[in-house]
Structure 1
Amino acid sequence: MNVHVPPEGGTPADIRDLLLDAAGLSLDKLPMLHVIFDRMATACAESLRQLAASQAYYSLSHVESGRIGDVLDSYEGMAIVGVFHSPEWDSHVIVGFDRDFVFSMIEVLFGADGSEPPVDDERSFSNIEMRIAAALFEQVAKALQGSFALVSQTTFRFQRLETRMDFAVIGRRNNLAICAKFLLQALNRGGEMFVLIPQGALTPMRQQLASTAAGDSSPRDPVWTRHIRGEVQRTEVRLRAVLEQREISLGEASQLAVGQILQLQATPRSRVKLESAEQALFWCSLGQAEGAYVLRVEEAVDLEQEFIDDILPR
């Protein structure tokens, strides 16, 4: 085996880079890739929510490594792919939608309710389906760009759309690539989307992709954060005001009868505990206003003290 030794003043790291490139990237050592693709799935779902009335969900299925040709051959005759160029990476990227994804997305975007059976046809894609796919590719490219901003500022420029996988050329077919696969769920059906990135494009970022520091985690998406906060704040919860609690034996409970009067130790001045889902929240005082009972919140319940009171005998 012949090894090229760099001239005096050369950088030994250059040899290491060549060796790493030849060996390929290990997904186990690139945890940030999953963070990036999870973020991408969220961004795709958010952008689709602005276009469709029906709920649609994206989820990252898995990330795998393989030869470019092998990945594309597995989708031959059953997918539309968009080819993008990244000037900053000096490389190309492929985004693909399988047939079920395209047909499901057409129904979602055109207001279907899912009552009709899914399309099960091996026909070629129509012009409308191709145009819808091209528009969706642009949305996915923006999501991909925003997600990779965690480690690299790059752009993805749409170049062409292909249905023949042997025409989707982004490098030698035996070159290694990272393939992320996503599931679409909508109208009780779904499909698959995939993103194919040559490993050569990711190799310069391997140190950033290998980082597991807490500061490298995905930052909050302000739009998604507002949406989640709004949904949470609109959620209805049931409150219960407890004036008094007591324990009785099973025998005493079996002797209870309609019309029986139970004596309470509580008085109108006793504090009332406000609970939700069996969780104590606040101590309140009882009062009346306009002919109805009212509660005035006085202080939060000390959960630690409540726990102590429950386990210690009285």
Structure 2
Amino acid sequence: MSQAVSNDIRDRLLDAAGLSLDRLPMLHVIFDRMATYCADNLRHLSASPSYFSLSTIESGRVSDILEIYEANAVAGVFNVPEWDSEILVGFDRDFVFTMVEVLLGADGTEPPVDDERGFTNIEMRISMAIFEQVGKALQASFSMVSDARFKFERLETRMDFAVIGRRNNLAVVSKFLLQALNRGGEMFVIIPQSALNPMRQTLARVLSGDNSTRDPRWTEQIRNEVSRTEVKLRAVLEEREMALGDIADLKIGQVIELQATPRSRVKLEGNDQPLFWCRLGQSDGSYMLRVEDYIDQEQEFIDDVLSR
């Protein structure tokens, strides 16, 4: 018997038996990362924070999994060319209603929607926007084990139309809890086991986080957010100590003499931390500072201790 035939038979036996999730610890790492990516991707779209957490990872027949969500969810079908497979992402009714409020600027004071009606056009369009963000989170999360693209194909509101292969095929379903505006919902991801089988050896061992690929978009976002952070600066011309009694005796109009001159160095501080030594000057009738040197905070601390 050739090696190719032997491998084919072994793969078919594994497909029939199903994957043992206990032997695939990397799946938990991937889906935990996905929860973090989902929260990060949606954070810049809304003023209110949204929190995602991995709830469970289970296996079962596709039909049995979808039956739970019939008439109570919206599903997005993604094509994964590298896996030669499709996967399904779904949002239950509470998830959709919560995210609509979050993305449209609600503050949570209104009671949650409790209605069995069909989804409106606005709710469907918002769901599609969220599916795009989830697709990015899936791609970033699975990049640890597979260079796969997740292409959104279509949206379905009837679970019997959410076809990703035969409905009696085995699949892995991960469920996530959403928390926002003191309410929440559930998101689920269904991946056929046939798509995960080729990666089972990689999924069987936990990869070090140091070996994971750095997401350049996330790095750039962090850099942009930090650079836009507002910091208050304070220029200190002179500092002096006074007794509490002298301060209590100060009166309006009293003059306090300073030892500093226009040629004295000015200490530039940010958030009460010394940053630079500067020189005082004037330009167009306004005072200005010219940065001359960095402040060695360790040396400043030593000098301050020795001066006491």
Gaps of 5+ in 1: 1-5
TM-score using structure 1 length: 0.71
1:23 paired with 2:30, answer: no
Q: 1:67 to 1:307 in 2, by over 3 A?
A: same
Structure 2 counterpart SS, 1:275: strand
1:298 paired with 2:292, answer: yes
User: Match for 1:220 among 216, 241, 244?
Assistant: 216
Instruction: Give the Cα separation in 1 of the matches to 2:307 and 2:201.
Output: 58
The answer to whether the Cα contact below 8 Å between 1:242 and 1:272 also exists between their aligned partners in 2 is yes
User: Match for 1:310 among 281, 295, 304?
Assistant: 304
Structure 1 counterpart SS, 2:245: helix
User: Match for 1:66 among 40, 58, 64?
Assistant: 58
C-alpha distance after superposition, 1:229-274 (max 9, x if no partner): 4444333322111111123333333333333332322222221100
Gaps of 5+ in 2: none
TM-score using structure 2 length: 0.72
What are the equivalent positions in structure 2 for 1:197-208 lying under 5 Å apart?
A: 197-198=191-192, 201-206=195-200, 208=202
Amino acid at match of 2:243: S
After the TM superposition, which of the residue ranges 165-174 and 94-103 deviates more from structure 2?
165-174
Alpha-carbon RMSD across the aligned residues, in angstroms, is 4.2
Q: 1:195 to 1:23 in 2, by over 3 A?
A: closer
What are the equivalent positions in structure 2 for 1:217-256 lying under 5 Å apart?
A: 217-221=213-217, 224-256=218-250
Structure 2 counterpart SS, 1:235: coil
Structure 1 counterpart SS, 2:139: helix
Q: 1:130 to 1:150 in 2, by over 3 A?
A: same
1:65 Cα shift?
1.5
1:42 paired with 2:40, answer: yes
The answer to whether the Cα contact below 8 Å between 1:178 and 1:199 also exists between their aligned partners in 2 is no
Partner of 2:174: 179
User: Match for 2:282 among 281, 284, 288?
Assistant: 288
C-alpha distance after superposition, 1:259-305 (max 9, x if no partner): 33323222222211000110111101122333332221111111221
Amino acid at match of 2:142: F
Q: 1:195 to 1:310 in 2, by over 3 A?
A: farther
Instruction: Give the Cα separation in 1 of the matches to 2:125 and 2:235.
Output: 58
Instruction: Give the Cα separation in 2 of the matches to 1:267 and 1:207.
Output: 73
- Count residues with an aligned counterpart: 295
What are the equivalent positions in structure 2 for 1:92-103 lying under 5 Å apart?
A: 92-103=86-97
Q: 1:295 to 1:84 in 2, by over 3 A?
A: closer
What are the equivalent positions in structure 2 for 1:6-155 lying under 5 Å apart?
A: 18=14, 22-26=19-23, 28-30=25-27, 31-43=29-41, 49=45, 55=47, 57-68=49-60, 72=66, 75-106=69-100, 118-126=112-120, 129-130=123-124, 133=127, 136-137=130-131, 140-155=134-149
The answer to whether the Cα contact below 8 Å between 2:88 and 2:190 also exists between their aligned partners in 1 is yes
User: Match for 1:262 among 253, 256, 260?
Assistant: 256
Instruction: Give the Cα separation in 1 of the matches to 2:127 and 2:248.
Output: 68
Structure 1 counterpart SS, 2:191: strand
Q: 1:256 to 1:174 in 2, by over 3 A?
A: farther
C-alpha distance after superposition, 1:16-40 (max 9, x if no partner): x959965324565553443344335
The answer to whether the Cα contact below 8 Å between 1:184 and 1:190 also exists between their aligned partners in 2 is yes
Q: 1:35 to 1:237 in 2, by over 3 A?
A: same
Identity %: 48
Partner of 1:193: 187
